[in-house]
Structure 1
């Protein structure tokens, strides 16, 4: 075991204390203090090496499988660490490129506080792209949370702190740590160490970011949550979770609604998450009107060769005049062939497809017509049959 103080003492003047790196120059802030970030298992210093900015990852306690995780970036017995006034030992370090930027936690907090919906939308889309790849492969980060994601100035996201990663070579081993509880499935134990470790935190972070892009004020209402808006141990009774589902239902955000629901799963593996995140990251217009189909009790749209809109909805009609009526939860919407919500009908008990530019709806027992802009028109009493399912 080593201490932060020992590393600070060593890095104050590291001349002659590296075995293969040669000269390294620790970076300092405006007050002259060393620039570093300390975590549970390691402290990372910002250094300059051979004209490049680099990260020097120094360990506070022994960690398994560093060679498998970091490859050639791991330098064994590289840094001579002072453990006392006249004593020391050679320790392992990991050297990599320094990633400029701030953590996702810092940036989303700033954007939510400022009510910056555009910035939050960009962050949520970027995270979904990262998470879609992350949960689809045979690896796992193991401690996925906003503090372990760096947002570069160009908006790209980068994972850091890979020490708890799962690789296929580690199968059947116990987990070296349980990750941060505020972002982990409450059922996770040391016996859980496989590619599904990132499923729950990916769903939680994605859900929170999409909630904030719709309503940044939610952030202030749930600042006391264990994690980002949500407290994992309280889902599905968590008020923030209930509010998230209601918000997605009202706006017709079907993919986000289904991702949020997955957080109620009793297992760490969230089946279908990769597909949902993949769908959420692409909006591809479809030239034509795909056919309605049902799978596992939900409705979607497909052609003879591919699924255009996955089965996300609780009920649906065929496309007419370029729009299809679908129900998400208790709310009816009209979507286009790319799955984008074009009209919402809150409070409607029933709807019918568009015909000649108008659709019939029923709200509070009153029959109305709407046009493609959502304007409502009274209609004369007549016999009409509305599908409620």
Structure 2
């Protein structure tokens, strides 16, 4: 939302803005410095010194205020001027308002209101952005507290990728994606803040002076399409988050406490081949981490201006993740479980029904013949035994032809072969586990050695870099003071010339103010007649008065002095007071402005001094840049000399880790498969026990 209401007479006419400390002094009295009702009655958060707590950035200072109803808001006060700020915020607000929140992966948008007449400092109004207060922790502090929770870190990484896709689909470029502008909510969803550098489609063609955080931007200025400006930052954040999710130890190895980055910093982008962090990530034992890092290096090396959105590591190297012991999953087999159809016999055949009916009838007939005396008892016993063995043989034959028994026997035979092969494949896993653990220990030792050696050097470089920056800012502050004084002098010169032009014009208008009626108190008709007799008809006909103790002289425009009968000191004072009122009234009617010629003339008068100050500022920037480049070169030389050996060891260790990891994954899979097969074999044996001969006899006679 944009507040366009502005009193032009009060809005800052120049381009110099207050400093953070000047804003803090003004915020002490919200009722005086704010017009917005929600801000005028709010209370600012205070620091330990009792002053409004300021959160300072490169180009703005943020204050937190609480309304009487307890609602917290943030206000951003700018410390520099841009011509397109108001129009950019209007376009951004319109674009964000057009996005349906229900179609987004998470509620990442922040509500804000741009106030053209926002805050009054030293009698001048400056624009501010009133922002919704968002509950969350910036990404860096969140990782510091949660880097050991791999599941949560991975969820945040996936949410960030989803957020990046939301922005891409909407055609929005944040412009400064970095840890400080990404807040993590309690539910692990993300919120984006700081829209100063945001680009929306309607901003095409506009300029933007912000370049983003140096630890999230390429070394050279982005020259690709505006829609791809965020891609480099997105890759840096995605690589860092997924790497930490895979191996929390990387946070302690590659992040220095107090560092304004995640795992990768600006020094890593200077030379990807000599970067310690990229060396560790490219040689990491998790193939997904190494593949993601390798892909980024390849894309940046080929062309920084063509970067697609990253994909999650699972999609980069799925075949490698399957062989990674850190992510191994049990193999499956189509033969590991028996079908429920094999647990019992189903559906009697005609022969089985005949056998079930004939066998008892045969025994009944035999006993009937024996009881009737047709055959002797001993012959009946002989026939009984013969009939019993015949029926048993027929039953065994019929059972052997059952499909259930044949299928389960075939499955058992196949399982026996699988069990034998898996048992052989699992041989030596204990030794391989020990070898792999030793390789992991060697890798950790190498990375720890690198991190321990790099830490002090990087900290020294960072401290020197910060010292140069502080020195530059201190010296630039003095230059800015000179520039502000110059702008003030320029403004005073413009105001003086405009005042002179206004006074000149007002004097030219005095001829329209006549001595008539009661325009001058205390003058009688005789006095006015005496004035007119001496040529004084209007306020333009005399310039001043000279008053002595007992007499008064009127000073004419040509400098002559005349004494007017009847005009003493008191009436002379009334006359000059009337003339001044006329002049003041005329000046109030003046609506002229300085011409372009006058403005240019004044600008030219101050240009040599302005050029001198700008030259000093440019020289200061160049000197600071040269010193910082020297620090970077020294750090780079140190990395080249001291990291090469350990890096080569890591690169040698990497294929060995992958190879033994692949073999170990296979053996772990074989062990898991052996367990599954053993359990399945037991289940199949149990199923076969339900297909035993007694169960079959019961089945053919009773059908169950």
Task: Please give the alpha-carbon distance, in whole angstroms, between the structure 2 residues aligned to 1:214 and 1:327.
Answer: 14
1:106 aligns with 2:124: no
Task: Please give the alpha-carbon distance, in whole angstroms, between the structure 2 residues aligned to 1:142 and 1:125.
Answer: 20
> Aligned match of 1:342 in 318, 329, 340?
329
- Corresponding position of 2:124: 89
Please give the secondary structure, in 1, of the residue aligned with 2:55: strand
- Corresponding position of 2:237: 205
Task: Please give the alpha-carbon distance, in whole angstroms, between the structure 1 residues aligned to 2:250 and 2:28.
Answer: 44
1:130 aligns with 2:163: yes
Please give the secondary structure, in 2, of the residue aligned with 1:16: helix
> Aligned match of 1:270 in 289, 298, 307?
307
The structure in which a higher percent of residues are strand is 1
- Corresponding position of 2:272: 235
- Contact 2:282/2:289 (8 A) holds in 1: no
Task: Please give the alpha-carbon distance, in whole angstroms, between the structure 2 residues aligned to 1:237 and 1:36.
Answer: 39
> Aligned match of 1:27 in 45, 67, 86?
45
Q: 1:217 to 1:151 in 2, by over 3 A?
A: same
- Contact 1:252/1:333 (8 A) holds in 2: no
Deviation at 1:163, TM superposition (A): 0.2
> Aligned match of 2:92 in 59, 64, 69?
69
Deviation at 1:157, TM superposition (A): 1.4
Task: Please give the alpha-carbon distance, in whole angstroms, between the structure 2 residues aligned to 1:49 and 1:111.
Answer: 33
1:244 aligns with 2:281: yes
- Corresponding position of 1:181: 214
1:55 aligns with 2:74: yes
Task: Please give the alpha-carbon distance, in whole angstroms, between the structure 2 residues aligned to 1:154 and 1:376.
Answer: 38
Task: Please give the alpha-carbon distance, in whole angstroms, between the structure 1 residues aligned to 2:45 and 2:260.
Answer: 33
Q: How does 1:30-41 map to 2 (within 5 A)?
A: 32-41=50-59
Deviation at 1:104, TM superposition (A): 0.7
> Aligned match of 1:152 in 176, 180, 185?
185
> Aligned match of 1:219 in 251, 255, 277?
251
Deviation at 1:253, TM superposition (A): 5.8
Cα RMSD (Å): 3.8
1:326 aligns with 2:319: yes
Q: 1:363 to 1:18 in 2, by over 3 A?
A: closer
Deviation at 1:141, TM superposition (A): 0.8
- Corresponding position of 1:4: 20
Task: Please give the alpha-carbon distance, in whole angstroms, between the structure 1 residues aligned to 2:211 and 2:188.
Answer: 29
Q: 1:233 to 1:46 in 2, by over 3 A?
A: same
Residues 338-384 of structure 1 deviation map (CA, whole Å, 9 limit, x = unaligned):
xx86379xxxxxxxxxx9697889968xx99746365699xxxxxxx
Q: 1:236 to 1:266 in 2, by over 3 A?
A: farther
Please give the secondary structure, in 1, of the residue aligned with 2:319: strand
- Corresponding position of 1:42: 60
Task: Please give the alpha-carbon distance, in whole angstroms, between the structure 1 residues aligned to 2:76 and 2:47.
Answer: 18
Task: Please give the alpha-carbon distance, in whole angstroms, between the structure 1 residues aligned to 2:73 and 2:51.
Answer: 17
Deviation at 1:136, TM superposition (A): 4.2
Please report the TM-score for the alignment, with normalisation by the length of structure 2. 0.39
Please give the secondary structure, in 2, of the residue aligned with 1:153: coil
- Contact 1:142/1:198 (8 A) holds in 2: yes
Q: 1:173 to 1:129 in 2, by over 3 A?
A: same
Which runs of no fewer than 5 residues in structure 2 stay unpaired? 1-16, 95-111, 332-416, 427-657, 675-704
Moved more, 179-188 or 61-70: 61-70
Task: Please give the alpha-carbon distance, in whole angstroms, between the structure 2 residues aligned to 1:58 and 1:152.
Answer: 25
Deviation at 1:108, TM superposition (A): 1.2
Task: Give the number of the structure whose alpha-carbon radius of gyration is greater.
Answer: 2
Higher relative contact order (CA 8 A, sep 6+): 2
Please report the TM-score for the alignment, with normalisation by the length of structure 1. 0.66
- Contact 1:137/1:195 (8 A) holds in 2: no
Please give the secondary structure, in 2, of the residue aligned with 1:211: helix
- Contact 1:187/1:267 (8 A) holds in 2: no
Residues 227-264 of structure 1 deviation map (CA, whole Å, 9 limit, x = unaligned):
432222222542211322333x6354698457645454
Residues 63-106 of structure 1 deviation map (CA, whole Å, 9 limit, x = unaligned):
43233234671011122123xxxxx2111111121012221111
Task: Please give the alpha-carbon distance, in whole angstroms, between the structure 2 residues aligned to 1:268 and 1:2.
Answer: 37
Task: Please give the alpha-carbon distance, in whole angstroms, between the structure 1 residues aligned to 2:60 and 2:329.
Answer: 49
Task: Please give the alpha-carbon distance, in whole angstroms, between the structure 2 residues aligned to 1:108 and 1:217.
Answer: 12
Task: Please give the alpha-carbon distance, in whole angstroms, between the structure 1 residues aligned to 2:208 and 2:159.
Answer: 28
- Contact 1:103/1:151 (8 A) holds in 2: yes
Task: Please give the alpha-carbon distance, in whole angstroms, between the structure 2 residues aligned to 1:167 and 1:343.
Answer: 48
Which runs of no fewer than 5 residues in structure 1 stay unpaired? 83-87, 281-308, 314-324, 335-339, 345-354, 378-389
- Contact 1:16/1:23 (8 A) holds in 2: no
Q: 1:17 to 1:50 in 2, by over 3 A?
A: same
Task: Please give the alpha-carbon distance, in whole angstroms, between the structure 2 residues aligned to 1:184 and 1:116.
Answer: 28
Please give the secondary structure, in 1, of the residue aligned with 2:205: coil
